[in-house]
């Protein structure tokens, strides 16, 4: 489908191949964001290693520099932060441009609601189209004053000097970004702020708050904080991002004669839905060298090629794998039988409508992929060996996870695949194509890189 988009950076992929070797993937994006935020609010000097030097996390770093925080780096994944304390942020000179990062916008929306100065949050065209009412509505009930567009999108004008009150809020949709934004606002609110989700999501904010010495309460599915506390500086070792590892996990599963070990990956139980879903599909995955680093569970993930089968994905697993579904759709296309996903409407509100865009891409490659309101039905390949996908030209629509997922599809394609508009891969996985080549994927790059 030709949408008139600029092709920009393009991946051209040779058909077939296998993945081999031991390697690491870049640091966890979610933890990198939070390390900058909480390190900036802490009293003292915080050192971060393994920081993801991707566009999204760098947008957070630049924003806190604009808010008056002295931050050295990044260099080789190392960042040093001179924290200013919870009350030490200063008014920025202009709007904070968060690029493509929804995490930055939603978490900063909560945090800045409790400041004594006005601020404006902006982003690129994709981020500016994403709904922000899920975070602004409960923040308003806490006493925040936030002005969005008529469509409820950015730019967001946050009026400072408001008196925030703690609330008890049951979220209608599970979202770690909304939960985290409310907890950060709760640091500045009178009394206690409690949040309950309809299903568990990643808990990096809660774990890191405790790592910085801030009490977090948990009670019957609720999580809460009390305003008025302080954070103490801490050293953070960011593990590899399981969302980035997921592309290689699926690639090694679907490509015959593949075997890889991805080292030092974060395996927080609120993030391992991709492992659980692949295991239900019959994947040969083993976690080795389990350990805990800075409060986060870490392991080396060993994967061998395997014959996947289609499944009905349990809805309880959906929030635990929400960012990994683009590449899980590729796994489903290469599995035997049908895979059915429901309860994943959130995918329509990511960097792209990931249900519609992945269905379009898979259809271009000859896959029977039927999008639904809250998921997809994929009729997998009927062949255990050889090629199950066609080649062709597909569009990522500027979505980094779509681009990398469709790149991995080439491992089971009969002809080459060209993936257009891949500039935003740098938001979460700088160096993806280089690492993929080293592992065995036949990928070349052309065009401008943002």
Rounded Cα–Cα distance for residues 197 and 366 (Å): 38
Rounded Cα–Cα distance for residues 360 and 368 (Å): 10
| Residue with more model confidence, 41 or 387 | 41
Percent of the chain clearing pLDDT 70 (strictly above) = 97
Rounded Cα–Cα distance for residues 28 and 271 (Å): 11
Q: Would you tell me how many other CB atoms lie within 10 Å of the CB of residue 214?
A: 21
Counting every residue written for the chain, the total comes to: 450
pLDDT tier at 6 (50, 70, 90 boundaries)?
A: very low
Q: Would you tell me how many other CB atoms lie within 10 Å of the CB of residue 417?
A: 26
Q: What is the pLDDT of residue 19?
A: 98
Backbone angles phi, psi at 347, to 5 degrees: -60, -20
Backbone angles phi, psi at 18, to 5 degrees: -145, 160
Strands (E), 117-163: 119-122, 145-147, 156-159
Q: Which residue, 332, 316, 327, 396, is CA-closest to 364?
A: 396
Q: What is the pLDDT of residue 45?
A: 98
Indicate left, alpha or beta for 21 from its phi (over 0: left) and psi (-120 to 50: alpha): left
pLDDT tier at 4 (50, 70, 90 boundaries)?
A: very low
Q: What is the pLDDT of residue 395?
A: 96
- The domains located in the chain, with CATH, are 10-26+240-446 (3.65.10.10), 29-237 (3.65.10.10)
Q: What is the pLDDT of residue 166?
A: 98
What ranges in 203-346 are assigned the alpha helix state H?
204-211, 242-254, 273-280, 325-334
| Cβ atoms 25, 247 nearer than 8 A | no
Burial class, 6, CB count within 10 angstroms (exposed 0-12 / middle 13-18 / buried 19+): exposed
Element (H, E) at 370: strand 368-372
Q: What's the rounded mean pLDDT across residues 184-207?
A: 95
Query: Which positions are annotated as active-site residues?
Result: 323
pLDDT tier at 448 (50, 70, 90 boundaries)?
A: low
- pLDDT > 60? residue 5: no
Q: What is the pLDDT of residue 110?
A: 98
Residue given tokens 């599963």 in the structure block: 253
Q: What is the pLDDT of residue 449?
A: 46
Mean per-residue pLDDT over the chain, rounded: 94
Q: Could you give the angle at which helices 133-141 and 176-186 cross, rounded to 10 degrees? A: 30
Three-state DSSP state, 450: coil
> Apex CA 7: angle with CA 332 and CA 25, to 5°?
50
Q: What is the pLDDT of residues 371-412, one digit of tens each?
A: 999 999 999 976 555 678 999 999 999 999 999 999 999 999
Q: What is the pLDDT of residue 426?
A: 85
Q: What's the rounded mean pLDDT across residues 436-446?
A: 96
- pLDDT > 70? residue 251: yes
Q: What is the pLDDT of residue 279?
A: 98
Cα Rg of the chain, angstroms: 21
User: What does the DSSP 8-state code read for residue 292?
Assistant: E
Q: What is the pLDDT of residue 382?
A: 63
| Cβ atoms 100, 126 nearer than 8 A | yes
Least confident of 85-99, 112-126, 184-198, 383-397: 383-397
Q: What is the pLDDT of residues 253-305, one digit of tens each?
A: 999 999 999 999 999 999 999 999 999 999 999 999 999 887 789 999 999 99
Q: Residue 226, CB half-sphere, CA atoms under 13 Å: how many?
A: 5
């Amino acid at each position: 489908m030709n949408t008139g988009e600029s092709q920009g950076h393009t991946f051209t992929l040779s058909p077939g191949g296998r993945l081999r070797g031991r390697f690491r993937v870049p640091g966890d994006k979610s933890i990198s964001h939070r390390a900058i935020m909480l390190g900036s609010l802490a009293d003292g000097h915080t050192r971060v290693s393994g920081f993801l030097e991707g566009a999204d996390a760098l947008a957070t770093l630049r924003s806190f520099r604009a808010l008056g925080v002295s931050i050295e780096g990044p260099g080789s994944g190392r960042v040093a932060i001179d924290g200013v304390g919870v009350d030490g942020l200063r008014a920025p000179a202009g709007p904070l441009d968060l690029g493509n990062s929804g995490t930055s916008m939603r978490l900063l929306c909560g945090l800045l609601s409790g400041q004594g100065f006005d601020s404006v949050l902006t982003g690129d065209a994709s981020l500016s189209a994403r709904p922000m009412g899920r975070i602004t509505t409960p923040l308003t009930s806490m006493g925040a004053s936030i002005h969005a567009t008529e469509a409820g999108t950015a730019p967001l004008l946050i009026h400072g000097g408001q008196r925030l009150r703690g609330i008890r809020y049951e979220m209608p949709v599970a979202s770690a970004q909304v939960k985290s934004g409310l907890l950060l606002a709760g640091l500045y609110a009178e009394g206690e702020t409690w949040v309950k989700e309809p299903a568990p999501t990643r808990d990096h904010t809660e774990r890191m708050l405790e790592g910085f010495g801030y009490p977090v309460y948990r009670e019957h599915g609720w999580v809460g904080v009390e305003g008025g506390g302080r954070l103490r500086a801490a050293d953070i070792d960011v593990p590899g991002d399981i969302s980035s590892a997921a592309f290689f996990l699926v690639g090694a599963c679907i490509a015959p004669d593949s075997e890889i070990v991805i080292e030092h990956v974060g395996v927080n139980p609120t993030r391992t839905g991709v492992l659980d879903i692949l295991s239900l599909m019959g994947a040969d995955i083993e976690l080795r060298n389990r350990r805990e680093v800075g409060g986060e569970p870490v392991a080396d993930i060993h994967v061998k090629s395997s014959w996947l089968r289609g499944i009905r994905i349990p809805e309880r697993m959906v929030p635990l794998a929400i960012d990994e579904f683009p590449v899980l759709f590729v796994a489903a296309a290469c599995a035997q039988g049908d895979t059915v996903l429901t309860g994943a409407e959130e995918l329509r509100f990511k960097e792209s409508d990931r249900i519609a865009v992945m269905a379009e891409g898979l259809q271009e490659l000859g896959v029977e992929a039927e999008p639904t309101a809250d998921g997809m039905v994929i009729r997998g390949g009927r062949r255990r060996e050889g090629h199950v996908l066609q080649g062709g030209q597909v569009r990522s629509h500027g979505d980094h996870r779509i681009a990398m997922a469709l790149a991995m599809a080439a491992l089971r394609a009969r002809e080459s695949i060209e993936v257009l508009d891949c500039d935003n891969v740098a938001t979460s996985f700088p160096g993806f194509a280089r690492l993929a080549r080293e592992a065995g994927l036949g990928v070349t790059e052309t065009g401008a890189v943002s």
